[in-house]
Amino acid sequence: MKKLFFQKTDFGIIPADSESVEIYKNFSVGDIFSADHWKERNYVFHKKLFRMLNLVCKNSNVYTNPYHLLKVLQFDTKHVDVYRMIDGEMRQTPASIKFRNMGAVKFAELYKDIRTAMEQGLHILLPGMDPVRFRGIAEEIYNEY
């Protein structure tokens, strides 16, 4: 099931992104749907991050799933939660990036760290990609929103 994102305007509630618009087009008059509400603080950073991840995955022979790439980069950048198991062993899992679970400052830090890790691993992620060109594309994505 896809998530829809809505934004309140002076004229009512409207879909907040192109994916939500496409899903919304399939609603009929009288259709009922439910929604959860929370204050968005990181929506723009989230969109930027996944634009960058999707860009890499669409052009990579190594990583084709943006969610998998995100988890790999979270381990690389130490954006993880650490747990002590019953036997004392320490384990890590990627930390949540849900809007509700991290503030804007922390998400901005994650975004910057992942972008830096992508640039440093460009020879693996996108062999042959010019680092200066990648940086320019990443800046375009950043400035787009």
Please, what is the end-to-end C-alpha distance for the chain in angstroms?
26
DSSP letters for 15-46: E-SHHHHHHHTT--TT----------SSHHHH
pTM of the predicted model, to two decimals? Answer: 0.68
- Check the CA dihedral 106-112-113-114 and report its sign: positive
Structure confidence at residue 41 (pLDDT): 53
User: Would the pLDDT of 47 be above 80?
Assistant: yes
Alpha-carbon distances, residue 64 vs 17, 25, 39, 53 (angstroms): 23, 29, 31, 9
Check residue 145 and give its pLDDT. Answer: 66
Quickly count: other Cβ atoms within 10 Å of residue 130's Cβ: 10
Average pLDDT, the chain: 86
For 31-42, what is each residue's pLDDT tens digit? 887 777 665 556
57 band by pLDDT with thresholds 50, 70 and 90: very high
pLDDT in tens, 81-137: 999 999 999 999 998 887 666 777 787 788 889 989 999 999 999 999 998 999 899
Mean pLDDT of 64-80: 95
